[in-house]
Structure 1
Amino acid sequence: MTAPEGDWRLIREERRPGPMQMALDEVAAETASGGGPATVRTYRWDPTCLTLGYGQDPETVDWAACERAGVDVTRRRTGGGGIVHDSHGDVAYSIAVPAEDVPGKLLDAYHQLCEPILEAFARLGIDADYVEEAVPELYHPACYLRELHPAHDVVAAGRKIAGNAQYRTRDAVVQHGSLSFSVDADAHLDAFADPPVDSTTFRERVVGMDELADVDRAEAVRAVEASLLEWVEAGIGSEDGPEGGDGSVDRDGSWTDAELERARELVEERYRDDDWVRSRPGDRK
């Protein structure tokens, strides 16, 4: 599978706070559904940020520990468990595309949009793929410690290496993911309230790229960006589509001033708002 046809932009890695990164994912969806380009991008978290799944219980967070460590906390629009993203150990990506351009079934769309991520691992010499058989969960609130399922969980050397999630609005699909470059088990577990596992157990479940390949983080980011770009170019160059391969890609795309302003609004309205971050959807005012 390749990317859907159409106009695309690649936004290369930017370092921003987590609430802004989540807002920009939402803005990219609005742009894609409003006639603008679809977006593929990589991004970096600064400072370290714990993102909660959309419906996650806030009582699972050690809020005091996060505050002491200077860890931001926000809530994603995707489901699943919490993930601690730091600026060195985490390589993040997202894809925002019109909903009509991807399969209507969640798993089919997920597999299409994960294709360039698996290819990025291959570029780095890492044999990553969907887990072959289910692995029982260790701790439900943490994304990396949930049950591993063959339909959607990506592993390398038998351990989880990527957490990917997707949400769909009426007119757009957003898939974003956290790719583990280097694992800091203690920092991850410290963000949760009384997790029943230790750092040794965490590392037995989760692996970083730096353990499997002789690459630095910048090389890993370049591999993800190159794979995303190649995936897009293959799609818009295809002669199989109804438009005979129509489309374009801006290889060095950027946000418009209007998009950045809209993202700042969303940060205040949602991604830094206590009512959004510290409560479940049904409990919000």
Structure 2
Amino acid sequence: MRAISLTSSAPWICLPLAVDSGQQQMHTDLELLRAHQRGEIRGAVRFYRWQPAAVSLGYHQHHWPVHWAHCRYQGQLLELVRRPSGGGAVLHQGDLCYTLVMGIVPGGYRHQYQRLNTWLIQGWQALGVPLSLGECPAGRGQTHCFAQATPADLVTGTGHKFIGSAQLRRGYSVLHQGSMQLAPDPELWNQVFASPAAPPMRIPSLRDVVAHLTATVGDYFDVT
């Protein structure tokens, strides 16, 4: 596996868009979290995509459909990858993922999510995509993360869940992981979840999305 070089001379780091396997992406996120725990960085933000396609399972998720082990995309079996964060399963094909690593802010869990969602709502609003908070009560036992949208999630104007997020906390450090469903393959989505996929989002180029969200993260978090 490729090592990440982190030094105290870069208190907040922004990594370039990465395309890699799910195992490598989760390894990278955990390395960033450990670097924060060691005091080597103030925080980090990055965006990434999964290749090959995969289904990620929440850290505490113990049950999922047996047929997922046999699902294929472009002739290749979907990987099943364990996330370090919680929540339900997420299909990683046609999505854009983000990671934020930082210290826990005053105000606790709810305030942390409020700041996170404000950054995402304002960022996507500037890109021409209005989003709002989900309204379903938070509950346990959801196999499929995008089957419902809680107030910690973000939905489009048509009510489709667009962004799902989850956390891992270790001491005073927190790892945020999220998936933005840009254009999931409808056939694959139905194969995995036996339900229709949300329509693809009309967005600027992926490069513009990543550049804008990366550039604005400092407006909502302490990146100095």
Give the shorter-chain TM-score range: 0.7 to 0.9
Structure 1 equivalent of residue 88 of structure 2? 81
* 1:135 Cα deviation after fit: 8.0
TM-score by length of 1: 0.66
* 1:90 Cα deviation after fit: 0.7
| CA distance in structure 1 between the partners assigned to 2:106 and 2:190 by the alignment | 36
Q: Rate the CA distance shift 1:30–1:128 in 2: closer, same or farther, 3 A.
A: same
Q: Rate the CA distance shift 1:113–1:61 in 2: closer, same or farther, 3 A.
A: farther
The gaps in structure 2 that reach 5 residues or longer are 1-9
Q: In the TM superposition, what are the counterparts of 1:42-191 in structure 2 within 5 Å?
A: 42-62=47-67, 63-66=69-72, 69-86=76-93, 89-99=94-104, 102-103=105-106, 105-131=108-134, 133-134=135-136, 140-146=142-148, 148-149=149-150, 151-157=151-157, 158-191=159-192
8 A contact 2:102–2:173 mirrored in 1: yes
| CA distance in structure 2 between the partners assigned to 1:114 and 1:25 by the alignment | 20
Tell me which amino acid in the other structure corresponds to 1:16.
D
Q: Residue by residue, what CA displacement relative to the aligned partner does 1:211-247 show, whole Å, maximum 9, x if unpaired?
A: xx4x3xxx234323322332226655xxxxxxxxxx6
* 1:66 Cα deviation after fit: 4.7
| CA distance in structure 1 between the partners assigned to 2:65 and 2:108 by the alignment | 31
Q: Residue by residue, what CA displacement relative to the aligned partner does 1:167-211 show, whole Å, maximum 9, x if unpaired?
A: 1111310001111111323312423xxx5x432xxx3xx34323x
Q: 2:31 aligns with which of 27, 34, 42?
A: 27
| CA distance in structure 1 between the partners assigned to 2:25 and 2:181 by the alignment | 17
| CA distance in structure 1 between the partners assigned to 2:214 and 2:86 by the alignment | 23
| CA distance in structure 2 between the partners assigned to 1:179 and 1:82 by the alignment | 14
Question: If each structure's helix is expressed as a fraction of its own residues, which one has the higher value?
Answer: 1
8 A contact 1:156–1:207 mirrored in 2: no
User: Larger relative contact order (C-alpha < 8 A, sep ≥ 6)?
Assistant: 1
| CA distance in structure 1 between the partners assigned to 2:40 and 2:81 by the alignment | 27
| CA distance in structure 1 between the partners assigned to 2:45 and 2:138 by the alignment | 32
Structure 2 equivalent of residue 198 of structure 1? 195
Q: 2:46 aligns with which of 6, 20, 41?
A: 41
Tell me which amino acid in the other structure corresponds to 1:208.
P
1:228 maps to 2:205: no
Q: Rate the CA distance shift 1:187–1:231 in 2: closer, same or farther, 3 A.
A: same
8 A contact 2:17–2:210 mirrored in 1: no
Tell me which amino acid in the other structure corresponds to 2:92.
H
Could you tell me the percent identity over the aligned residues? 23
Instruction: Give the 3-state SS of the residue equivalent to 1:108 in structure 2.
Output: helix
Moved over 3 A (4+): 66-69, 233-236
Paired positions, count: 210
Instruction: Give the 3-state SS of the residue equivalent to 1:92 in structure 2.
Output: strand
Structure 2 equivalent of residue 271 of structure 1? none
1:9 maps to 2:13: yes
Larger Rg: 1
Tell me which amino acid in the other structure corresponds to 1:155.
V
* 1:59 Cα deviation after fit: 4.0
8 A contact 2:55–2:90 mirrored in 1: yes
The gaps in structure 1 that reach 5 residues or longer are 1-5, 237-246, 249-285
Q: Rate the CA distance shift 1:106–1:135 in 2: closer, same or farther, 3 A.
A: closer
The alignment's C-alpha RMSD in Å is 2.6
8 A contact 1:110–1:166 mirrored in 2: no
